[in-house]
Amino acid sequence: MIVIYHNPKCKIAGKCINILETRNVDQSRIKHEDLVLTEEKLRKILSLLNYNPIDIIRKRHFLWKSLLKNLNFTDDELIKVILQYPKLMKNPIVINGNKAVIGNPPETILDII
């Protein structure tokens, strides 16, 4: 089963969901705001994506631009920042077993379904 972490208001996430639906892919949707994120889960997601913590940050988010972008963080510190402010994470995140992608552009999810 594919898991998609998404913001229901996001057009890109909607396109990803549409791709999954048109291909009749069994899926579980978790709203970004309902995501219960632990350090272990975040590290697993980063590992599946093959990303460093900075790679998953939405650098256009007002919180990042106004408060955080000029600070220097270690990876461990960035993980703590993401856990404290999960809306900083890029989305949608689509996971299929041991593969994951950020669904932007939406067609990238085709690589893992």
- Active site residues per annotation: 10
CB 4 within 8 A of CB 13: yes
If residue 19 lies in a helix (H) or strand (E), which one and from where to where?
helix 11-22
47, burial (CB in 10 Å: exposed 0-12, middle 13-18, buried 19+): exposed
Cα–Cα dist 43/19, whole Å: 27
